[in-house]
């Protein structure tokens, strides 16, 4: 049955049997272009390949993925494009075990990147939420329910992003972003371990930080340390670097975007040209 229609098994679209739906059994990427130029394509392909091999999905050639991205991007004709793509293990009757002969499913969507100039200029509010995710957040998997619920909680509190906190009280990352604090002359973020995504914008933000003379510290922050920071920012492919001006319902420093957020963004933008 699909919605309220009885459909003979043989006539059901295989899309309904996608293991991505049954189990979140797939991996994805989100990349973008700036003014008609794709940004960090090789980095995204590399991470996608890592995600695929970590979950043992085979039968996808990276050259083919690259060609599809280029073809779809070209056909869409969108200058500031967001390119989402995923591969699931394939479609089959629901069984946790899989058959190696399954053919992976590929999906790609190109859309306009939402303009977040207001957020980058004025900053956002962020709240915290327990990090309920699994222990392999370094894999960009389709299992995003914990992220979805964390963002729903944040939105209910009038916040744009949920900052995830592990059982030891340490901040891992945002529900859809990397997280940084500026404390004095340091730019601090969690180290790359299996509990966070190896964010590509994170790498470029750290590079931007070095270029503007900040010292990089890859150590997890407590919620209290973050609350007392001079500046907080989040970073992701679709948002660049966004100042967090309210954290846990309190202003960060004087509650307005700080100078380093602006400098980091300016430096980051220079990488995209």
Residue with tokens 């994170």: 202
Cβ distance to ligand PDD smaller for residue 102 or 192: 192
Q: How far is the CB of 199 from ligand PDD (least distance, A)?
A: 3
The verdict on whether 140 is a catalytic residue reads yes
Closest approach of ligand PDD to the CB of residue 180, in Å:
11
Shortest CB 119 distance to ligand PDD, Å: 14
Return the number of the residue (142 or 229) whose C-beta is nearest ligand PDD: 142
Residues that bind ligand PDD (CB under 6 A): 30, 147, 173, 176-178, 197, 199-202, 236-238
Judged by beta carbon, residue 58 or residue 111, the one nearer ligand PDD is: 111
Q: Which of 135, 140, 157, 259 is catalytic?
A: 140
Cα(180)–Cα(221) distance, integer angstroms: 9
What's the closest the beta carbon of residue 148 comes to ligand PDD, in angstroms? Answer: 11
Nearer to ligand PDD, 105 or 201 (CB): 201
Q: Which residues are catalytic?
A: 140
């Amino acid at each position: 049955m699909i919605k309220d229609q009885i459909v003979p098994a043989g006539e059901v679209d295989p899309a309904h049997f996608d293991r991505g739906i049954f189990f979140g059994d797939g991996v994805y990427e989100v990349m973008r272009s700036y003014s008609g130029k794709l940004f960090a394509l090789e980095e995204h392909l590399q991470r996608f390949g890592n995600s695929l091999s970590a979950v043992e999905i085979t039968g996808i050639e990276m050259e083919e993925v690259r060609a599809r991205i280029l073809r779809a991007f070209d056909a869409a004709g969108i200058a500031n494009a967001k390119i989402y793509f995923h591969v699931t293990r394939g479609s089959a009757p629901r069984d946790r075990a899989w058959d190696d002969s399954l053919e992976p499913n590929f999906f790609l969507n190109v859309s306009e990147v939402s303009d977040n100039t207001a957020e980058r200029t004025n900053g956002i509010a962020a709240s915290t939420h327990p990090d309920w995710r699994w222990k392999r957040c370094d894999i960009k998997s389709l299992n995003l329910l914990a992220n979805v619920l964390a963002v729903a909680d944040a939105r209910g509190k009038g916040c744009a992003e949920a900052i995830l906190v592990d059982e030891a009280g340490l901040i891992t990352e945002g529900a859809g972003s990397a997280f940084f604090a500026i404390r004095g002359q340091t730019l601090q973020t969690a180290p790359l371990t299996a509990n966070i995504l190896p964010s590509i914008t994170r790498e470029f933000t750290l590079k931007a930080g070095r270029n503007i003379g900040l010292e990089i510290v890859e150590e997890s922050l407590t919620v209290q340390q973050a609350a007392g920071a001079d500046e907080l920012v989040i970073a992701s492919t679709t948002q660049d670097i966004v100042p967090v001006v309210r954290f846990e319902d309190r202003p960060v420093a004087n509650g307005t975007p700080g100078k380093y957020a602006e400098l980091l963004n300016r430096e980051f933008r220079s990488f995209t040209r």
